[in-house]
Amino acid sequence: MAMQMAMQSGQAMAGMGMAKGGMLMTMYPGLPLLWSGTALAAMALVTLLALRTGAGTLGGRWWVLSRLPAVGPLLRWLATRPAVLVGLRLVAVALFLLVIATGLFGNQIPQRNLATMLTWTFWWTGVIISVLVVGSAWCAICPWDALANLLVRQRIWGRAHMPLSLELRVPRWLRNTWPALAMFVGLTWLELGFGITTSPYGTAVLALIMVVLATLSMALFERKAFCHYFCAVGRTLGAYSTVAPVAVRPVDTDVCARCKTLECYHGTGEVEPCPTHLVMGRLRENTFCISCGACAIACPKQNVAWRARPLGSELALDVRPRWDHAWFILGLVALTSFHGFTMMPFWESWMSRLAQWLGDSGQLLWSFSIGMTGALLLPIGLFALAIWVTRRLLGNRLSFRRLFAIFALPTLPLAFSYHLAHNLTHLVRESAGFGSVLANPFGVGAKPLSMAERMADLWMPMDLLFTLQTALIVLGFWLAMRVLRQRASRLPPKGTAMTLVQRLPVTLYLLVMAGFNLWLLMQPMIMRM
């Protein structure tokens, strides 16, 4: 959209490599029929299996990783050494400052500038993939939080005794995920509407804005209110990490039950208190844990460690349904699909037609905003309809809000899996020329990527990419159905199980959304750079 400075009637752009606002654009084919057919067959099988009543066997088994042979001691050492964390934070800060510098002062060709390549092709895609391996660990080394810490608390890690902060409590009306949802919508608008992904300058300005916002929040509020309530990246990773196979948890829950000092919550003389007000002994969900490891370092009994657990078990069993969180999850569902939708060849022509109808011009921001609003409201509206029907089928026993909050949870794996599958495409297909960007981060004297460079061998074979995408979509759908079964098997207040018919509207919704995401992956996709 950023390059959509030309508006005309009719004709969508198609084909491999063509000019778009002075730039070449590339389009890659979507999932071939073999893979999409396999995914559809697997999803049909999952649906049939999931239609059985009962909770299923998504259990609460877990393993303490620091007790594993060989890697266990290493993990324990890493988790309890502040130097490791400080080192990683410094590296993240250095890269972040380099992104700002290259974005502001470097070559403005997006594929030749470190700011756009590192931020959008590697970080924003990689950080979502990282949740699968390390949960919300990115938040622990987040550079804008580290810089805010440095500015407000004059240190990069540990408890500050005289911070430049008013240490106010966050007002009650802000203690929810609505601010993060608003920021996420805003970031998506900037990314897809304003075209910040193809603007090194814009990327640098956004990075500076994040630092200012994090600093403002830390200067006003106690602990890390920005991470807890306001940061769209943090809340996204927090939501996804409830599906992740790892989490920071007590090694022995009895030790926590006997603990009277709660160093994990209050911190110690050197270690800061939990930035998001969590007590390790009572921690059931990852949503607000930023994996900073302060609790692991502070605990005198060394009773905090990384745990492995089955994928999605926390979402199925432990996450507390909340109205604001449900909206955030549905926002993720809608916006991740919308990301893919805007990269379809027909999107540009739809926008052109809408712009002509509206008399919109330039970057077509009004047209884009209307399209985005529609794309956001449609899946949420469909979900609300499914909940309304479910409520009727349940004889209006539970409130609409309650059901909405409960059954938003099974939709989260759909957003996560599509996000991963979509990001894999960007990571594999847009990373051409990254070697030259590393060698010349400011892109001094660099020319735009030629078609030959764009079409150079991908670092991952296409077949492997298609297989991974298919597996992710099926896995996401399977997890969604498992979470639905668990949640439907113990409906509050008395833990009653829903019948097959009562589960049908939400099952259909999950099927429609997963099918839509699969269809998006099957379409040819226009690359951002």
Partner 1 sequence: MMRARWLFVLLWILLGPVCIGPAWAHHVIGRPSYSLNEDSNTPPSMEVETQVGDYYVTYMVFPAFPRPGAPGRVNFYATRIRDGKPFQGKVTFWVRDAGWLHWHRRPPEKLGVQTPEDGVYRQLFQFSEKGDYLLRAEFEADGQPYQIDFPLRIGNPAPVGPIGIAVGAVMLILVSVSVIQRRRLVRLKAQRQRLESGT
Contacts to partner 1 by CB under 8 A: 2-3, 5-11, 13, 18-22, 100, 104-105, 108-109, 150-152, 154-156, 164-166, 195, 199, 201-202, 204-205, 208-209, 211-212, 215-216, 219-220, 361-363, 365-366
Among 287, 314, 286, residue whose Cα is nearest residue 229:
287
Q: Which run of H or E residues covers position 438?
A: helix 434-439
Between 3 and 508, CB nearer to partner 1 = 3
Residue 171: CB minimum distance to partner 1, A: 17
Between 204 and 259, CB nearer to partner 1 = 204
Residue 45: CB minimum distance to partner 1, A: 46
Amino acid code (one letter) for 308: A
Between 120 and 328, CB nearer to partner 1 = 120
Between 135 and 158, CB nearer to partner 1 = 158
**How buried is residue 256: exposed, middle or buried, by Cβ count under 10 Å (0-12/13-18/19+)?**
buried
Residue 160: CB minimum distance to partner 1, A: 9
Q: What's the CA gap between 173 and 178, in Å, rounded?
A: 9
Handedness of CA 176, 271, 145, 161 (dihedral sign): positive
| Structure-token pair, residue 107 | 């070559």
**How buried is residue 332: exposed, middle or buried, by Cβ count under 10 Å (0-12/13-18/19+)?**
buried
Distance of CA 279 to the CA centre of its chain: 24
| Structure-token pair, residue 99 | 């992104």
Amino acid code (one letter) for 370: I
Q: What 8-state DSSP symbol labels residue 279? A: -
For the chain, the residue count is: 529
Distance of CA 430 to the CA centre of its chain: 19
Residue 266: CB minimum distance to partner 1, A: 20
Between 202 and 413, CB nearer to partner 1 = 202
Q: What's the CA gap between 393 and 402, in Å, rounded?
A: 15
Among 50, 59, 58, 56, residue whose Cα is nearest residue 503:
50
Helix, strand, or coil here: 203? helix
Between 363 and 425, CB nearer to partner 1 = 363
Residue 27: CB minimum distance to partner 1, A: 14
Residue 11: CB minimum distance to partner 1, A: 5
Between 34 and 168, CB nearer to partner 1 = 168
DSSP letters along 47-58, please? HHHHTSSS--S-
Between 16 and 471, CB nearer to partner 1 = 16
β-bridge pairing 63-64 and 246-250: unpaired
Provide the greatest CA pair distance for the chain.
71
Between 332 and 437, CB nearer to partner 1 = 437
Between 18 and 398, CB nearer to partner 1 = 18
Helix axes 323-342, 365-393, angle to 10 degrees: 130
